[in-house]
Chains A and B, each alone.
Chain A
Amino acid sequence: MKTDVQEINATRKTIAVTVTSEEVAAQEAKLIKDYQRQAKIPGFRPGKAPESMVRTRFAKDLKQELKQRVISQAHQSGVAGADFEVFTIVELDEGEIAAGQDAVVTFTVDVIPEFEVPAYEGLKVTNTPTEATEEEVTKMLDQILSQRAEFNVAEKAAEKGDYVQCGYEGKIGDELVADLVPDSPMFGTQKVTWEEAGSEDAPGVRAVVDGLIGMKAGDTKEVTMEFPEDFQPEALAGKTAVYSIEAKEVREKVMPEMDQAFFDSLQVADEAELRTKIAENIENQKKQQNATSERQQITEELLKAVDFPVPESGVEGETEAVLRDFMQRNMQQGVSAEEFEKHKDSLHEGARKAAHDRLKSRLILTKIAEKEKIKVENEDFSRMIMMEAQQSGQNPEKLVKELQKDQNRINQMRRDIILGKTMDLLAEKAEREVVAVPVGADAADA
């Protein structure tokens, strides 16, 4: 057997393995023996059928099996025995394989490039403080209260924060806005809808929301809305529309009393305990955020520290995964397929970049894991399985059974665990620095 390696580019190689005719013949003889032992042919006891008969009867199967055996033999010596690490086999060309002639099996493989593992101990990460401020706690408490607020019909002019049942119709000149933007009725005509008067983050027409303040049930009013230049949908950008509003009912928001029943329903004794509980929650959330951002920072550091070409096939596969993930997430939010079609190229470009980084960081982490001799323990597996079972709402035992059938998934899981553990290790060894973040920015993502 002879192996001939040729380099196409930094991450791609072809390996041509030549299997001599004798080796093919030996392989075939062994194969026919195996078949003879099991062949059931009428007129013969099992294992007693003559070779010639087996040969003619199973010609097709034999050919295929021989091909497979020769390929796997070639794979063992050519790919598995190679002195570089193979990432995936991209293409396989086996040519003609038959007894009595040399067979040439050509593998086109992507290889994991060789690179120096960057320094991974004591990476610098910055964290934000995790203590919950008084302000945040109060805000949270308000949110909890307003979730339980009651809305009572009020015979008064709407104030800021009141909910108003209203109808409105927008016109630009004589043209109905609804005709311009048939897809988003929110900006056109609404017969009956609820709006929070004066709400700052209402999604609808700004002027209508603001205009509702001061209206009573039965009142009508006209307001003018100037859409900004960068408005979405584009059909309305930079235009001025007149909305005629009719208020139908005003409801006042009544916050619940902070009494014993309220505390009981939240399973706390008094306000102080509720506040500490909320503070704890916020702290945990922030810690979680810190942990995520730490990992992200470490990944970025590693990516910056070393530069090497990444196997093409891996990037392609990863791009697909990223795109699929992205589409799924957006489909759930109701983005149409045409929208994707429009931005296909830019989406693909972005996904490719993300995929490249993801793959690169994974390769680096794998190398580090090798160096640190990180192994997967049984407990890691059970923890992972429990987590997955919880996420998918499956019975853990059932999941284990499913996994036992699927070696691929187990391998995938093992890889994920190793990467996760490596990341944990890096985070553990990283140097932390706490940097206070301006309050406004912090509140946005809390």
Chain B
Amino acid sequence: MIIADKILLEYRVTEKAALLSANFNQYTFEVAPSANRIEVARAVAKVFNVEVTNVNILNKKPKVKNDRSRRGKSGTKGGHKKAIVTLKEGDKIELV
């Protein structure tokens, strides 16, 4: 069974995501690190009631940063799994 809340973490509101959604009917989400294309496709279809034709997934690696408040020990910043979901022509996701 697919628990959508555990797979789709956030809808990305950025210039790049806006361009994709406006021109290519592609919607961008942050997804759980363990999720795969099939799970994302099913989750999106279920939550937004649309038909998904393609899912591209990419891992954005975290950056290593020195943390000055912890005496310069290094830690990580950022990093997430991003899914770009293409919908069938005519389907739409309206958020914001």
Contacts and interface: CB of A to CB of B under 8 A. Distances in A.
B89 interface: no
Nearest to A57: B96
Interface stretch (B10-18, B38-46, B74-82): B10-18
A411 interface: no
Contacts of A49: 18
Contact of B96 (A45, A48, A53): A53
A45 B22 contact: no
Contacts of B13: 41-44
Given A43-B13, A49-B18, A56-B96, 17 more contacts: A41-B13, A42-B13, A43-B12, A43-B14, A43-B18, A44-B13, A44-B14, A44-B15, A44-B18, A45-B15, A48-B15, A50-B18, A50-B19, A50-B22, A53-B18, A53-B96, A57-B96
A184 B47 CA distance: 86
B4 to A, nearest CB: 23
Interface string A37-65: 00001111100111011001100000000
Contacts of A41: 13
Interface residues on B, range: under 10
Contacts of B15: 43-45, 48
Interface in A270-285: none
A303 to B, nearest CB: 66
A218 to B, nearest CB: 98
Contacts of B96: 53, 56-57
Contacts of A42: 13
A45 B15 CA distance: 8
B14 A52 contact: no
A48 to B, nearest CB: 5
A436 to B, nearest CB: 88
A49 to B, nearest CB: 7
Residue from A41, A42, A43 having most chain B Cβ neighbours under 10 A: A43
Contacts of B19: 50
Contacts of A44: 13-15, 18
A56 B96 CA distance: 8
A48 B15 CA distance: 7
22 contacts: A41-B13, A42-B13, A43-B12, A43-B13, A43-B14, A43-B15, A43-B18, A44-B13, A44-B14, A44-B15, A44-B18, A45-B15, A48-B15, A49-B18, A50-B18, A50-B19, A50-B22, A52-B22, A53-B18, A53-B96, A56-B96, A57-B96
Nearest to B18: A50
A348 to B, nearest CB: 58
A44 B22 CA distance: 14
A44 B96 CA distance: 13
Interface pairs A-B: 6 shortest CB-CB: A43-B13, A50-B18, A43-B14, A48-B15, A44-B15, A50-B22
Interface string B13-45: 111001100100000000000000000000000
B88 to A, nearest CB: 19
